[in-house]
Structure 1
Amino acid sequence: MTTSSHSTSVFESSVVDSDFIEGTLTNTSIAETKPQEGRTALKDCNIILFQESVLNGLTDGTTPSFNDLVCLADGKVVIVDNINSICCLYDSYFNLMSSCTMPTKPWNVCAIDTDEVAVTLPDNYKIQFLKIGDTIQPSGHITTRRMGMVIVALNKTELVYAGTMIDEKTYYWGTITRDGREKSCFHIPRGNITYQNVNIALNACKMLVYIACFDAETVFCFGLDGVQHFAYKVQEGPNPGKPMGIALDSEDNVYVVVRNMNSIHRLSPECQLQQIVKDMIPGNPRTICFKKSGDTFLVTSKNTKTANICYTYKLK
């Protein structure tokens, strides 16, 4: 993939409640960043966010697994703890407000409205809706014909969802209504049948669906009619990358978490590589989510040494 000729950008990066660090990214395939003099390096700001709060109320001491999160318009954050089968609501200062136990392991969460989110429960083929206020509470669900892993809201009455059907050994994506009617279904190209991981995002006008496919080592861009527009083969030098979380900024640039490379690939809306951000990214990154302002995003990682961490990054 040819590097696009975009101007040099600057990321201002921080861990929550820590000093900011800055690094300049050039338009080379991999941009190595250095903290400025007098700043604290990211590796020395190893703040574990959420962990103590998520563990409150649990008696077995199980470490949480941050499988996904979403930032709401008012600054609140909903995070999915897959291991402990709970969804937790945090205020804009990351204080735990409320938690809600799920009947099976939740996988993905998306915002439906300012006061509602939807969570996928692939083990029982359900999409669970949760009302958001000062607490987080169940508000109904739908049952799907296929194993929905991830979802995004097309509007208040329709969702785009993607996942796998183990019997068919295929990935798929499509649209489904709030009352469970499947309106469309399309297959996603994939590689080896080894992993059930696919993530999706919509552009600002909600006309294009971006899909990060772990097995295929590729980011696909489809129209809502199922026609493929673009594809980006995730690669760093000779090494293939395994894409996981995916999100778009306010200008529809695409950010893809590459877990096995500990990096984020920034793509143009046409899936052309702009930058690869490496040394500011924690080990084993998993999910990425932009705040509604579009200039700040959260990245979670799961590492055996550091447990679960959530970092914030601010675009400048």
Structure 2
Amino acid sequence: MAVPGKKASKQFSSSRASLASDEDHQIYCQPCDEEGTRLPAHGYCTDCKEHLCKTCFTAHKKHRLSKHHKLLDATSMPKVLQQPSTSIHTGLSDDLTTPCCKHSQEIIKFYCNDHKNLLCSVCVTLEHQPTSCKVDYIPDISGYIIDSKEYQIILKALNTTFDHYQQMVEDAKEMTGKSNRSLKDALEDIKKFRKEINQRLDELERQVVHVVKVTEQENNSNITSVETSCEEVTKSLKRSSEKIKQLNTSTQANTLFMELKIAEKMMEDVEKTALHLSTYDVKEHNFQANKTILTKLITERSLGTLTQKTLNKECQPIQIKTRQSSNEGKICVKTSKDKYRCCITGMTLLTPDLLIITDCNNNAVKMVDTSSQSVSDQLQLDDEPWDITTVTSTELAVTLPDKQTIQFISISSNKLKKRHTVKVDGKCYGISCYQGKLVVSFNNPAKLQILDMNGTILSTIDGKNIFKHPLSITSNRSSIYVSDWAMKTVTKLNWQGDVVGSYRGMSYPTRMSLSDDGNIFVCDWERNVIEEISEDCSTGKVVLENLNNPYTVCWCGETKKLYYSCRSLNEKIDNFLYINEMS
């Protein structure tokens, strides 16, 4: 016989699967027995269908999940095991058979009202203890659920959601079919357009070919006329020469005299004919192509534009999530080298701890250490800088409008140093760099240019009917954003120069900065606010208000901080960078 509290032997454990029938046979606590500890049974739970030792019996009456169970003491409990204690389904209702997704050997039999989770006993023990969660035993609370209001509501919601997704599939099929048909129509239009171009080129070719053929016919007619005239003259000359020779041989002096005079007169006429024939105009021809057509074909970026119109039903504009902001303070950027009030017109983030700003009043580019909240270096330029962009982790590009120049600046050992310059063909203001390409804005005339790092113009975007004064530019992989204070717009273009979006809810938009979720922060200088505009420029929302003429803004995605400067003509305001933490 085993000693209570000692580990059961494997031989005994393997033999206990058979149910005992002898009333005098010792019954042990089944929960403890499963853990390998043999303790005599002190009672029995009719709900769990388990024999319990004195400790488990007492705990069973106190535990929130089992205190309502019906317990039998030692005199009333069954004197034989009711089922093998090794079963993982001990004490479960017949329909509680769903395994726990976290603990595959356990069955779900509890529900946490606070976390709305279905639980097994291990989940309750480890994560949802009754002292912190309201946990119920499912058989205790499930009696009302048949044909209940909750049953009706959830069933209706399931059916509604099912119908909604079925409709989504049908709508998607319908819209995709319509889109594919529109693409097929577009291809037919492209072929038709190409045919029209070919027909026009054929017509222009026929015109030139006609001129060539007419000229060739004239040449052939003229040469025939010359050949005929020359043949008649040569025959007359030959007859006269032979007759003169004959008369001279036959010593017919009178006739020879007359024939010589006739020949002399004929020579005068022949000379006139020769003079006339010598004026025959013969030209060599060369074809000079109409290079306007060729240039137009070369400079055009596409055969046409494939315009798009959304087919989404009940399409809603992209909504901007609500942001909470808290003022973190300000950084003074006025230095001993400065003669005038600061005027920060450009700002770019090099690292979360380093901001590079342009101060046009003091002809300076400044490095601002946001950790120490001070200007760590300052580079003086020959002229007023306007905007600035990060080219690489160690290189910047700054626009100098009055010099019509882009100044490149390097950074080494936290020091700013002037490098080479690139000349541009106008007053350059806004600048942005993405993957080795510079986008630059110009006024008078308003336009954008995309340049390589050597200043070679890759393409030009005419600002006619789009811009008047494109002040600031920012760009990413797919888009270019331009703010225009005269048009009161923020315009979105693709890299081919096509306008794909426009936001018109501002009074005087100035500098911009892209956020990490694709939205755009924009200073509205006149309204004293900073707005966040959605990626597609369809909606906007004020995130900071009651400012002092905000002019330049820069977003740090890593620290969730928004830096901005003001242009209020007040030295106590303009000499600082302001910091707001956004969440």
* Interval of TM-score (by shorter of Structure 1 and Structure 2): 0.7 to 0.9
**Which residue, out of 322, 341, 353, partners 1:9?**
322
Higher-Rg structure is 2
- The residue that corresponds to 2:566 in the other structure is 301
- The residue that corresponds to 1:132 in the other structure is 411
Offset at residue 197 of structure 1 (A): 5.3
Conserved 8 A contact 2:369-2:375? yes
Conserved 8 A contact 2:478-2:495? yes
- Superposition RMSD in Å: 2.3
Which has the higher mean CA deviation after the structures are superposed, 287-296 or 112-121? 287-296
Taking the aligned partners of 2:532 and 2:352, their CA distance within structure 1 comes to 26
Offset at residue 271 of structure 1 (A): 0.5
Residues 242/186 of structure 1: CA separation in 2 closer, same or farther (3 Å cut): same
| 2:548 equivalent to 1:277 | no
Residues 216/7 of structure 1: CA separation in 2 closer, same or farther (3 Å cut): closer
- Which residue identity is paired with 1:199? S
Taking the aligned partners of 2:406 and 2:542, their CA distance within structure 1 comes to 34
C-alpha deviations, 1:91-130, integer Å up to 9, x for none? 2323222111111100001111111111101111111111
- The residue that corresponds to 2:86 in the other structure is none
Conserved 8 A contact 2:473-2:482? yes
Conserved 8 A contact 2:505-2:540? no
Conserved 8 A contact 1:191-1:215? no
- The residue that corresponds to 1:255 in the other structure is 521
- Which residue identity is paired with 1:50? C
Offset at residue 303 of structure 1 (A): 1.8
- In terms of fraction of residues, the more helix-rich structure is 2
Taking the aligned partners of 1:142 and 1:100, their CA distance within structure 2 comes to 18
Taking the aligned partners of 2:377 and 2:411, their CA distance within structure 1 comes to 10
C-alpha deviations, 1:230-264, integer Å up to 9, x for none? 011124xxxxx111111111110112111100112
Taking the aligned partners of 1:294 and 1:226, their CA distance within structure 2 comes to 33
C-alpha deviations, 1:188-241, integer Å up to 9, x for none? 356996xx55111113xx220011111100111000101110011124xxxxx1
- In terms of fraction of residues, the more strand-rich structure is 1
Residues 314/307 of structure 1: CA separation in 2 closer, same or farther (3 Å cut): closer
C-alpha deviations, 1:8-31, integer Å up to 9, x for none? 513222243xxxxxxxxxxxxxxx
| 2:391 equivalent to 1:103 | no
Percent identical across equivalent pairs? 17
Conserved 8 A contact 2:399-2:429? yes
Taking the aligned partners of 2:319 and 2:466, their CA distance within structure 1 comes to 31
Question: Secondary structure in 1 aligned to 2:337?
Answer: coil
- The residue that corresponds to 2:504 in the other structure is 233
- The residue that corresponds to 2:431 in the other structure is 151
- The residue that corresponds to 2:360 in the other structure is 82
- The residue that corresponds to 1:55 in the other structure is 335
Unaligned 5+ residue runs, structure 1? Answer: 17-46, 236-240
Question: Secondary structure in 2 aligned to 1:55?
Answer: coil
Taking the aligned partners of 1:315 and 1:269, their CA distance within structure 2 comes to 18
| 2:520 equivalent to 1:245 | no
Question: Secondary structure in 1 aligned to 2:377?
Answer: strand
Question: Secondary structure in 2 aligned to 1:123?
Answer: helix
Question: Secondary structure in 2 aligned to 1:100?
Answer: strand
Offset at residue 274 of structure 1 (A): 3.6
- Which residue identity is paired with 2:474? A
- The residue that corresponds to 1:173 in the other structure is 448
- The residue that corresponds to 2:400 in the other structure is 121
Question: Secondary structure in 1 aligned to 2:351?
Answer: coil
Residues 5/15 of structure 1: CA separation in 2 closer, same or farther (3 Å cut): same
TM-score (normalizing by structure 2): 0.43
Taking the aligned partners of 1:98 and 1:202, their CA distance within structure 2 comes to 27
Taking the aligned partners of 1:55 and 1:197, their CA distance within structure 2 comes to 31
Question: Secondary structure in 1 aligned to 2:446?
Answer: strand
**Which residue, out of 286, 310, 314, partners 2:577?**
310
Conserved 8 A contact 1:63-1:307? no
C-alpha deviations, 1:72-100, integer Å up to 9, x for none? 12521111110110111122323222111
Conserved 8 A contact 2:318-2:534? no
Residues 274/75 of structure 1: CA separation in 2 closer, same or farther (3 Å cut): same
Unaligned 5+ residue runs, structure 2? Answer: 1-315
**Which residue, out of 400, 421, 439, partners 1:141?**
421
TM-score (normalizing by structure 1): 0.77
**Which residue, out of 457, 468, 474, partners 1:201?**
474
Of structures 1 and 2, the one scoring higher in RCO (CA 8 A, sep 6+) is: 1
- Which consecutive aligned stretches of 4+ in structure 1 deviate over 4 angstroms post-superposition? 189-193
**Which residue, out of 71, 84, 93, partners 2:349?**
71
Taking the aligned partners of 1:84 and 1:7, their CA distance within structure 2 comes to 38
C-alpha deviations, 1:153-180, integer Å up to 9, x for none? 122x32111121xxxx321112111111
Residues 296/190 of structure 1: CA separation in 2 closer, same or farther (3 Å cut): farther
Taking the aligned partners of 2:419 and 2:377, their CA distance within structure 1 comes to 15
